[in-house]
Structure 1
Amino acid sequence: MSSSNEDFVFGRHAGIDFLKTQEAEKINKVFLAEGVQEDFAREVYRYAKKKRLIVQRVPKSKLDALVQGGNHQGLVLAVASFAYADFDQLLDQLDQQEEAPLLLLLDNIEDPHNLGSILRSADATGVSGVIIPKRRASGLTSVVAKTSTGAIDHVPVARVGNLVQTVQALKERGYWVFGTAMAGEDYRRWNANGKTVLVIGNEGKGISPLLLKQMDQTLTIPMIGHVQSLNASVATGVLLYQAFNSRHPL
């Protein structure tokens, strides 16, 4: 199993994307199941050869054990643990860019599948970086990598100790902070131009009360059905595309 310095990327799309885009030093081992389709096997060998990596053919049962039953689709990469961006360095880098940054701050998202899906939407909509807490939340894991289908390699993720202090620091740097709340303004009126932070709350509890007090404005997604809440990753996708639309009008 993985050590503190090793994790796994698995699945055909995520695995191939990692082989294509990452430096060889980040990939410790390439495991390919015996009996996979020849076209897929040739693709794995082609990218592995470019990085001078050895492909180990192993029984499917070994891959099942490595990823604890995850859907590996015949490919598992043992990789160096996922690196987090430094929060202050990330902000300094964003200050050098011409376009105003759009940051996503996640308040204790616990489900790694939700985090992976959120990273996928963040990559698609041009999010500059994602901020997560160090405690009581999902970190960057192999499940997150798999669900993100490669986005984990392209969206910087910073971990911080205190979200309230982090938001205060962002405000001092000129960011406007928007959060989700049932009594908020209709998200379709949201203009996300300028230095913007979108805060997404926990799957069940929403944004914590102390953090909610730090919002410059709250947003809500109107619903006409019987269920009055959306999955956290779905809600994030809806809001991020509103931000994208306001920043990139037709």
Structure 2
Amino acid sequence: MLYGRHSVEAALANPRRRLIKLWATQNALQRLEGKLPSGLAVELVAPHVLEQLAGSGSVHQGLVLEAQPLDSVLLEDVPAEGVVLVLDQVSDPHNFGAILRVAAAFGVHALITTERHGPGMTATLAKAASGGLEHVAVIRETNLARAIEAIKEKGFTVIGLDSEADNDLVTAPLQPPLALVLGAEGKGLRRLTRERCDLLARISLPGRIVSLNVSTAAAIALYIAQTARP
């Protein structure tokens, strides 16, 4: 179940999504004029019905969409180009969703994460991603260290983000294909993950706080990587 204007509109426009049914208020449905796929079941409802469908307190913005989960993408299908993100046990759905949103904004085409200790593809995550879930392939791997080795064999340079690293991300080799690895808040990167990276780098900050929320760190790292391109 997807809810919220950006999440629902992105899913409606995604040809890879198999849609089942849309519930909407009259006003929200008017905003979707011309965006509804033919044949989609639509039901006009009052806002309290949407809250029952999406969950109490959800910011549904007048829209709830039932859809099948997106088909899985395999690691071997990831092209050796551009930038990918690797998340090491980032489990909070709000952080994960925010990272997906940032990733989509910067043109990241894949996000690799752990099968265990990772969030499910829930409506909460999709809402936080604000449509990003439709644009960035999410690949779940049981062994993240092995997955990092696999993308290195494809030609990716793998850089792990660590606030205590000796290297500054600004001076790191950031030419694509590039993989940026971020760890969970508090724990950071696990030992095996760190050992598989080609380089560990920090985001240098002028203030006294040197660690950032993981989604904020992802946004800054992607901006630095983008500005490093010729």
Name the TM-score, length of structure 2 as normaliser.
0.91
2:207 is aligned with 1:215:
no
- Segments ≥4 residues shifted beyond 6 Å: none
- Whole-angstrom distance in 2 between the partners of 1:47 and 1:145: 19
Residue matched to 1:89: 77
Residue matched to 2:170: 188
Which of 43, 67, 73 in structure 2 is aligned with 1:56?
Answer: 43
CA contact 1:32–1:74 (8 Å) conserved in 2: yes
Aligned to 1:182, the other structure's residue is in SS state coil
Alpha carbons of 1:82 and 1:24: their partners in 2 closer, same or farther (altered >3 Å)?
closer
Structure 2 residue runs without a partner (length 5+):
none
Measured after TM superposition, the shift of residue 230 of structure 1 is: 0.8
2:11 is aligned with 1:10:
no
Which of 206, 209, 213 in structure 2 is aligned with 1:227?
Answer: 209
Measured after TM superposition, the shift of residue 140 of structure 1 is: 2.2
Quick one: which amino acid aligns to residue 2 of structure 2?
Answer: V
CA contact 2:17–2:69 (8 Å) conserved in 1: no
Q: Which moved more, 1:127-136 or 1:52-61?
A: 52-61
Aligned to 2:136, the other structure's residue is in SS state coil
Measured after TM superposition, the shift of residue 117 of structure 1 is: 1.2
Which of 84, 90, 114 in structure 2 is aligned with 1:133?
Answer: 114
Alpha carbons of 1:218 and 1:53: their partners in 2 closer, same or farther (altered >3 Å)?
same
Quick one: which amino acid aligns to residue 14 of structure 2?
Answer: Q
- Whole-angstrom distance in 1 between the partners of 2:96 and 2:70: 14
2:148 is aligned with 1:167:
yes
Aligned to 2:32, the other structure's residue is in SS state helix
Measured after TM superposition, the shift of residue 145 of structure 1 is: 1.5
Aligned to 1:174, the other structure's residue is in SS state coil
- Whole-angstrom distance in 2 between the partners of 1:176 and 1:239: 14
Residue matched to 1:122: 103
CA contact 1:86–1:158 (8 Å) conserved in 2: yes
Q: Which moved more, 1:120-129 or 1:68-77?
A: 120-129
Measured after TM superposition, the shift of residue 116 of structure 1 is: 1.2
Aligned to 2:155, the other structure's residue is in SS state coil
Which of 139, 151, 158 in structure 2 is aligned with 1:177?
Answer: 158
2:227 is aligned with 1:240:
no
Quick one: which amino acid aligns to residue 21 of structure 2?
Answer: K
- Whole-angstrom distance in 2 between the partners of 1:188 and 1:122: 19
Name the TM-score, length of structure 1 as normaliser.
0.84
- Whole-angstrom distance in 2 between the partners of 1:221 and 1:151: 24
2:19 is aligned with 1:27:
yes
Alpha carbons of 1:208 and 1:22: their partners in 2 closer, same or farther (altered >3 Å)?
same
2:93 is aligned with 1:106:
no
* Per-residue deviation, residues 171-195 of structure 1 (Å, max 9, x unmatched): 2222221001123212222331132
